[in-house]
Structure 1
Amino acid sequence: MKPSGIAEHAVQALNARERQRFVESNPQSAALAERASQSLFGGVPMHWMSDWSTPLPLFVARAQGARFFDVDGHEYVDFCLGDTGSMFGHSPAPIVAALREQAGHGLTTMLPGEDAVVCGELLAERFGLPFWQVATTATDANRFVLRWARAITGRKVILVFDGCYHGTVDETMVRYRDGYTVHRPGLIGQARNLTQHTRVVPFNDPAALEQALARGDVAAVLCEPALTNIGMVLPEPGFLDRLRELTRQYGSLLIVDETHTISTGPGGCTRAWHLKPDFVTLGKPVAGGVPCSVYGCTAEMAQAMQLVRAHSREMAEGHGHSGMGTTLSANALAMHCMRANLEQVMTESAYAHMLGLAAHLAQGLRRIIQKHELPWSVTELGARCEFQFRASPPKTGAEAEAAFHDSLQQTLHLYLINRGILITPFHNMTLCCPDTTEADVDRLLATLDEVLGELLAIPGAREG
């Protein structure tokens, strides 16, 4: 039996039943899946969209607030919310209004407007970093900041934590194995050796961190304040303070990626935990679901960046290319939506609602785990929480990964989907938005209680 406390034969029995129920209940999705297979690789517009727990893709018709509707007319309470892209709900009214307002006034011009100025001011106020730039995705923001860090420090090596998530930045596609940095399993089409200029260490391991930084060749540490994609892993007390001390001691810059950890509050962990990074990056939800990302820096970094630019122009006789920026970055539509999101959606009151419901959900999850006598735990991070198949919350990415039980997770997710509830795929994370209600949370808890009761009622489900 896996450490989850539930025998595999019980998981497989329930999964077979739920797969059949899904197919029978979703004929329109099945028809679209068949049609899509003729023109879309894997039958989906992004290949990972076929990796959900469903036996065929679930096609969405529309979404609003904390709910979406599929093409077969089923309604779902959404605790995934685009894996944070719609953290403040689907199509918030101010974002809808901003889209309409800007639609007739130009979508992209390669020139700034007043919205950009207001967004910079609001971001500086929230995060405490005075200068900002805009990109299109968090991946872009992280890539650009890594270029700045290397140029400023004159160093090439980037350090990340095992199990990190920073979009699809090449340098972060590595793992820690037996003391060595290796390529992430499953990486497709990788031409160069990432381990030459990337070093990875376990999260919450200050000794390993110092050993990696002491070589004096690390340009920057790129980190999430808490791991969020390998299963949530919170920092141990004092670890982030030690991280800041060590980066300063060894001349490395500190980049904090708040793309997922913005769930803690309007200024993310940077503000809530009084972090002092050199750079902050943020993507996904910053424009209310419209593609946009930002990165901010200290005054010291801004001055260093100016010197780098001046030198670059001199070397290129004024016509160089920085390797940063895409044509659609900071487009007028995204800037108008980001301003509306920062001013009207991403508010203190919205977070108060979200955090309260997430705490209620986490408390309920712990009650259910205790009721069914399962060796599981719950991790909280602001508006999100996660139940994990281990007796205590993990302290490293490796511990979180070791607790994975793919078949059980997929079966639980499919059961929830068949009853109109969606949580984040690939692990058991939930997110509450301003439109989530206490009744929605209680419905998720009741349904999870129900599926665990059914699983454990299967003969031999608790047998070793």
Structure 2
Amino acid sequence: MTASGISSDAVETFMSVERSYFIERNPKSRELAERARQSLYGGVPMHWMADWSTPYPLFVQSASGARFTDVDSHEYVDFCLGDTGSMFGHSPAPVASALARQSTRGLTTMLPGEDAIVCGEILSKRFGLPYWQVTATATDANRYVLRWARAITQKPVLLVFDGCYHGTVDDVMVRDHGGETVHRPGLVGQVYDLSQYSRAIPFNDEEALEQALKQGDVCALLCEPAMTNIGMVLPDDGFMQRCRELTRQYGALFIVDETHTISTDIGGCTRLWSLQPDFFVMGKPVAGGVPCGVFGCSEEMSQAMQAAKARINQAAQSPEGDSHAHGHSGMGTTLSANALAMHCMRANLEEVMTDAAYEHMLPLAKQLAAGFRQVIAKHDLPWSVTELGARCEFQFCAKPPRTGAEAEAAFHDELQMALHLYLINRGILITPFHNMTLCCPATTPADVDRLIQTLDEALTALLAIPGARS
């Protein structure tokens, strides 16, 4: 018996049956998987696409709203939604129309249009930060904000929470190991020691936070208001406010990454909880699924950025008095704020990411969380459910975790993948790697009921295997 309450032998037996069923019902995906291995590394365009629970990748034919269809013509209810990239549904009509309009008016020019101004105005009103910049991804946004934080404070160390996710920024690829910052396991090609300039501490640990900031070398705390990638971990009451207070006290900046937690409220946790960050970052969902990211800053940071830039330009002047710093800040790509992304972002902010959308999504997520709890209780399992806005997750631990380490300790990869595969085989997709779900404006109460019922059926079948509880 494992901490999850189900034996590993039973999980393997269950998984074997589901693998065979998947292979039987997905012959066209299998053909494409074999063909893909001839030209794509690992048989997929990005290596992690092979990390799902399926014996080979499930190839998608089309997606719309809260559903997608695979190449074998099976339809799925999608509670993953591109891990937030399609948080408001696949191909929302206003964004699809914006794509069509802009396709004949230019895709990228390295020059701004009115769309950029409208997006800036909406973002300012929604999140309470006056100035905005647009990037290609949230990873880029985090990378650029980190450059600004170091330039402004002239301090080298980035502080993050153990188990955080902020895209693929090098500086965040660290973990806390017994009070020591170490590289994340499996990190590929890392040749310099990230712990020189990055520090990882446990989430919800106010003492560790203050001790880290007291050292005086921290440029910024970069955090999600609630952790969402190592399993959902909510902040203790008042913890985020203490993050704001302590960063101010010790001269560090407070950067809030709401790429995932924007599912909580139209103004994110930032507005809902009055976090008052120095910088705000958001990616994936901001342009309705079109690659785009943004970061906003306060008035004080805007002035500090100008001062830092002037100082750096002055230092970069040659003996002849010519500055070589302009245009070489290490920030921005030629596709940042391209015309296509800006037009789609405007459509998404004006017509898709609305109060009405959240009024639909949030109650459904509550319904789903309640259903998960009922199923867990019915089967007498030592599991818990964590919910945040339009998200919820069932976790293989009796109490919701308070730190990344606790969330990770509750992982049971084989059980999670077996349950995911059972759901996939019956036309339901949830987020891979852990058990997180997301409701979008196109999700229906019937979709939620279907997921709850199918999970119930999965557990009934699994626990009926001899020795499952022994």
Per the normalisation by structure 1, the TM-score is: 0.99
How many angstroms apart in 2 are the aligned matches of 1:448 and 1:158?
A: 41
How many angstroms apart in 2 are the aligned matches of 1:131 and 1:380?
A: 31
* Residue 324 of structure 2, aligned match among 314, 319, 322: 319
Letter in 2 for 1:271: R
User: 1:308 Cα deviation (Å)?
Assistant: 1.7
Question: Structure 2 stretches of 5 or more lacking a match?
Answer: 317-321
Aligned length: 463
Partner secondary structure for residue 385 of structure 2: strand
* Residue in 2 that maps onto 1:219: 219
Alignment of 1:246-261 (within 5 A): 246-261=246-261
How many angstroms apart in 2 are the aligned matches of 1:278 and 1:377?
A: 34
Alignment of 1:333-412 (within 5 A): 333-412=340-419
* Residue in 1 that maps onto 2:64: 64
Deviation string 1:400-450 (CA, Å, 9 cap, x unpaired) is 000000000000000000000000000000000000000000000000000
How many angstroms apart in 2 are the aligned matches of 1:326 and 1:392?
A: 44
Deviation string 1:358-388 (CA, Å, 9 cap, x unpaired) is 0000000000000000000000010010000
* Residue in 2 that maps onto 1:124: 124
How many angstroms apart in 2 are the aligned matches of 1:39 and 1:367?
A: 46
User: 1:267 Cα deviation (Å)?
Assistant: 1.0
* Residue in 1 that maps onto 2:178: 178
User: 1:312 Cα deviation (Å)?
Assistant: 2.7
* Residue in 2 that maps onto 1:83: 83
* Residue in 1 that maps onto 2:291: 291
Partner secondary structure for residue 360 of structure 1: helix
How many angstroms apart in 1 are the aligned matches of 2:116 and 2:257?
A: 21
* Residue in 1 that maps onto 2:319: none
Deviation string 1:303-330 (CA, Å, 9 cap, x unpaired) is 0111122223333333321000000000
RMSD: 0.6
* Residue in 2 that maps onto 1:427: 434
Question: Structure 1 stretches of 5 or more lacking a match?
Answer: none
User: 1:191 Cα deviation (Å)?
Assistant: 1.1
Letter in 1 for 2:208: A
- In the TM superposition, structure 1's runs of 4+ consecutive aligned residues that sit over 4 Å from their partners are none
How many angstroms apart in 1 are the aligned matches of 2:47 and 2:245?
A: 41
Letter in 1 for 2:116: A
* Residue in 1 that maps onto 2:230: 230
How many angstroms apart in 2 are the aligned matches of 1:291 and 1:176?
A: 31
How many angstroms apart in 1 are the aligned matches of 2:466 and 2:155?
A: 60
Deviation string 1:146-178 (CA, Å, 9 cap, x unpaired) is 000000000000000001000001110000011
* Residue in 1 that maps onto 2:165: 165
Deviation string 1:279-301 (CA, Å, 9 cap, x unpaired) is 00000000000000000000000
How many angstroms apart in 2 are the aligned matches of 1:446 and 1:158?
A: 44
